[in-house]
Amino acid sequence: GESVGLHLPTLSVQEGDNSIINCAYSNSASDYFIWYKQESGKGPQFIIDIRSNMDKRQGQRVTVLLNKTVKHLSLQIAATQPGDSAVYFCAENPRTGTASKLTFGTGTRLQVTL
């Protein structure tokens, strides 16, 4: 079936560097994508989202890029800080049925080294 996946399970980045977390999706009908951050022992926390009619969206220190041609999503974190260490999930809304449901990837662990 359709699924959302990630290229790298673990990403190690030095403090102050930029981080890029990638995500591949397979459902070309998806119209909405979202990134979550999950710290150990906590629930997922919203970071940023993007609709399919956009290819870039910026937040505070974060940017999401959407390439519909190759069905690829990325999250860029500028000037990575120790507090950014967490598991990051991408998710898509496949627009099946009348209610919006999200399909989640398995996650990428970001480790920030000092």
Binding site for other proteins (CB under 8 A): 4, 32, 34, 36, 41-46, 49, 89, 91, 93, 98-102, 104-107
Q: Which one, 104 or 111, has the nearer CB to other proteins?
A: 104
Give min distance, CB of 6 to other proteins, in A.
Answer: 9
User: What are the CA-CA distances from residue 90 to residues 14, 52, 68, 110 (Å)?
Assistant: 22, 14, 15, 13
Give min distance, CB of 106 to other proteins, in A.
Answer: 5
Q: Which one, 32 or 78, has the nearer CB to other proteins?
A: 32
Q: Which one, 91 or 112, has the nearer CB to other proteins?
A: 91
CA 9 – CA 100 distance, rounded (Å): 27
Give min distance, CB of 86 to other proteins, in A.
Answer: 13
Q: Phi first, then psi: what are they for 83, rounded to 5°?
A: -70, -10
Q: Which one, 63 or 104, has the nearer CB to other proteins?
A: 104
Angle at 42 between CA 55 and CA 66, to 5 degrees: 10
Of the chain, the end-to-end C-alpha distance in Å amounts to: 41
User: In the numeric block, which tokens belong to residue 54?
Assistant: 């956009």
CA of residue 80 relative to chain centroid, distance: 15
Give min distance, CB of 45 to other proteins, in A.
Answer: 7
